[in-house]
Amino acid sequence: MPFAQLVIGPPGSGKSTYCNGMHQFMGAIGRRCSIVNLDPANEATGYPCALDIRSIVTLEEVMDDEGLGPNGGVMYALEELEENIEWLEEGLSRLGNDYILFDCPGQVELFTHHRSLRKIFGRLQKIGYRVCRVLPPLPPPSRDSRVAADGCS
């Protein structure tokens, strides 16, 4: 039975950094681990992508073709993934029993007003994945008001 982490959090909270570090850690202890990038806006992952949503849909393509802004483009891209879930399932099947890290987009509306990610994650559970959510910790508040405004340093 394969295991997976859904790495979630607001933009800039360290999701990709966490995935990269966890990938390195898993390799150091001899555990096979693969990362799946589900963020079509994440152009510089810094880690090796086993599967990347950008291979089926890019944010730039969606924004140009559909006349959407960045947030609408990410929502549209996830709807495309949901409609093409076989691509994800086939890719995951090639990874065998690797421990999977899903690097998720950070737009909060994807979790509050949109159902595509929930449906995708539900499908993962139906095909046998044991899934948990990981929210990397935010940095401590700063006395610098420019940093405190966005919560990131």
Domain ranges in the chain? 13-137
pLDDT at 149: 43
pTM: 0.87
Strands (E), the chain: 3-7, 33-37, 49-52, 99-103, 130-134
Distance between alpha carbon 148 and the CA centroid of its chain, in Å? 25
Closest CA to 38 of 23, 26, 22, 55: 55
pLDDT at 153: 38
pLDDT at 111: 77
pLDDT by 10-residue block (mean), the chain, 153 residues = 91 90 96 96 89 93 93 92 95 96 89 87 93 79 50 41
Domain 13-137 indexed as CATH 3.40.640.10: no
